[in-house]
Amino acid sequence: MSSGSRSEEFCPRCGDAIERPPEVDLPTGPRDPDSVLCDDCYFEDFDLVDAPERIEVRVCSQCGALHRGNRWIDVGARDYTDIAIEETAERLAVHVDAHDVDWGVEPEQVDQNTIRMHAVFTGVIRDTPLQEKVTVPVYIARETCDRCGRIAGDYYASTIQVRGTERTPSSEEQDRAIEIAEEFVADREEDGDREAFITETTEMKDGVNMKVSTNKLGQTIAERIVRELGGAVSEAPTLVTEDGDGNEVYRVTFTARLPPYTPGDVIDLEDGDGPVLVTSAHGNLKGTRLESGDRYEADFEEGIAPDARKLGTREDAETTTVVAIEDAHAVQVLDPETYEAKTIPRPDYVDPDADEVPVLKHRDGLHILPE
Ligand SMILES: [Zn+2]
Ligand SMILES: [Zn+2]
């Protein structure tokens, strides 16, 4: 056929003359070679929807991650049916020249691993409204993702140790340290980071150990723990192996060393000014003097660990009766053990109208705590 407009007036397949009103919006361009055909030939083997014979959805049976493209992604705890519908939408291709396309899908659970998708598509092409039904089985393949495989294989690059200074961290501190780690990892996961994970958490007799996936993660979590609970981080690398290129591979242990005294502790600094109730262990130790109510702050060199001994904690306090306010610096209360009236220092935080006050009885005497 020679060039010119006349060749477009005949269908290249059947040879029939093509009669179209001039205003019909014919799809042009290289996308669909069939666009030159007459309507009869065009629709003869036309598919509105191109559907694969079956769709396989790979999910991790441990964490629910979905394999898409060539990687695993977290999709959160969701129904596999929803995931199957999304995957179906991804894999079904609607003819490029169709417009006003709409679709609906009816999932049919065939067995635990198979969902049959009954989809109905509608669209308009060559001014002709079309409807097409396709049924595609979606097979859910339950596998183990790379991350869960590494966790199961006890893979780790770094250890976080939570320890106290000359003490064992309290169970609240240990629980909170674990929570800080888990929250951080969950946030990273939320941001799509699948490389951050905790392999193992072990409660030791002197604290908590957590094995984590990278050295950076170990460092960040240890720093977050001391930022909240006080103390300092130290690190100790251990050479574990050389990799294939002869590079040394280290596992780093990050120790979050919690401060010797924590808020709520009552300590004696043996400086003649009486015991201190600790209120903060950030930067340097801060607290309240129990004899006067004055504020205490350790100096820079002492930091969070001034020379002191622990007398008790706020939890050891008992409520007792105020017998009489003697003067600006003394008050008479009942000893909670012997019920004898005793004169003790009156810190300025004691309410002059109080009938009862919390007191701590310790080896050096009896002191009123702030409420
Ligand atoms: Zn034709
Ligand atoms: Zn997994």
Beta strand residue intervals within 24-127, DSSP E: 49-50, 55-60, 66-68, 71-73, 93-94, 99-111, 114-125
Query: In which residue are the tokens 């994970």 written?
Result: 197
> What's the rounded Cα separation, in Å, for the pair 201 and 191?
23
Checking if the pLDDT of 7 tops 50, the result is: no
Q: How far is the CA of 18 from the centre of ligand 1 (A)?
A: 8
Q: Which residue has the higher pLDDT, 266 or 39?
A: 266
Query: In which residue are the tokens 């490029």 written?
Result: 96
Ligand nearest to the CA of 62: 2
User: What are the angstrom distances between the C-alpha of 84 and each of 106, 164, 206?
Assistant: 11, 50, 48
Q: How far is the CA of 7 from the centre of ligand 1 (A)?
A: 13
Q: What is the pLDDT of residues 194-220, one digit of tens each?
A: 889 999 999 999 999 999 999 999 999
24: its two tokens: 């019909």
> The whole model's pTM is what?
0.66
**What is the structure's pLDDT at 244?**
74
Ligand nearest to the CA of 38: 1
57: its two tokens: 């959805």
Checking if the pLDDT of 302 tops 70, the result is: yes
Q: How far is the CA of 192 from the centre of ligand 2 (A)?
A: 13
DSSP annotation of 18 reads P
Q: Which residue has the higher pLDDT, 100 or 241?
A: 100
Task: Count Cβ atoms below 10 Å from residue 89 Cβ, excluding itself.
Answer: 12
Q: How far is the CA of 39 from the centre of ligand 1 (A)?
A: 7
Q: How far is the CA of 44 from the centre of ligand 1 (A)?
A: 9
Residue 368, helix vs strand vs coil: strand
**What is the pLDDT averaged over residues 329-339?**
93
Q: How far is the CA of 162 from the centre of ligand 2 (A)?
A: 27
Q: What is the pLDDT of residues 241-297, one digit of tens each?
A: 777 777 778 899 999 999 999 899 999 998 989 999 999 988 789 999 999 999 999
Q: How far is the CA of 8 from the centre of ligand 1 (A)?
A: 12
**What is the structure's pLDDT at 2?**
42
Pair 9, 18: CB distance under 8 Å: yes
Ligand nearest to the CA of 147: 2
Pair 168, 162: CB distance under 8 Å: no
Q: How far is the CA of 10 from the centre of ligand 1 (A)?
A: 8
> What's the rounded Cα separation, in Å, for the pair 271 and 75?
59
Q: What is the pLDDT of residues 112-161, one digit of tens each?
A: 899 999 999 999 998 899 999 999 999 999 999 999 999 999 899 999 99
**What is the pLDDT averaged over residues 93-120?**
92
Checking if the pLDDT of 21 tops 70, the result is: no
Pair 72, 66: CB distance under 8 Å: yes
Q: How far is the CA of 90 from the centre of ligand 2 (A)?
A: 22
Please give the backbone phi and psi of residue 353, each rounded to the nearest 5 degrees, phi first: -95, 0
**What is the structure's pLDDT at 26?**
59
Ligand nearest to the CA of 65: 2
| pLDDT > 90 in the chain, percent | 59
Q: How far is the CA of 43 from the centre of ligand 1 (A)?
A: 10
pLDDT band at 75 (very low <50, low <70, confident <90, very high): confident
User: What are the angstrom distances between the C-alpha of 210 and each of 147, 199, 207, 219?
Assistant: 17, 7, 10, 12
**What is the structure's pLDDT at 235?**
95
Checking if the pLDDT of 320 tops 90, the result is: yes
Helices (H), 98-198: 146-152, 171-190
Checking if the pLDDT of 55 tops 60, the result is: yes
**What is the pLDDT averaged over residues 316-331?**
92
Angle at alpha carbon of residue 49, lines to 44 and 53, rounded to 5°: 105
Residue 36, helix vs strand vs coil: helix
Q: How far is the CA of 42 from the centre of ligand 1 (A)?
A: 7
> What's the rounded Cα separation, in Å, for the pair 240 and 328?
65
Ligand nearest to the CA of 189: 2
Residues contacting 43, CB < 8 A, separation 6+: 126, 128
Ligand nearest to the CA of 18: 1
Q: How far is the CA of 144 from the centre of ligand 2 (A)?
A: 6
pLDDT band at 56 (very low <50, low <70, confident <90, very high): very high
**What is the structure's pLDDT at 188?**
92
Task: Count Cβ atoms below 10 Å from residue 370 Cβ, excluding itself.
Answer: 15
Query: In which residue are the tokens 């393949």 written?
Result: 141
Residues contacting 150, CB < 8 A, separation 6+: 197, 199, 213
Q: What is the pLDDT of residues 213-237, one digit of tens each?
A: 999 999 999 999 999 998 899 999 9
pLDDT band at 18 (very low <50, low <70, confident <90, very high): confident
pLDDT band at 28 (very low <50, low <70, confident <90, very high): low
**What is the structure's pLDDT at 3?**
42
Checking if the pLDDT of 77 tops 70, the result is: no
By CB neighbour count within 10 A (0-12 exposed, 13-18 middle, 19+ buried), where does 363 fall? Answer: exposed
**Residue-averaged pLDDT of the chain:** 89
Ligand nearest to the CA of 45: 1
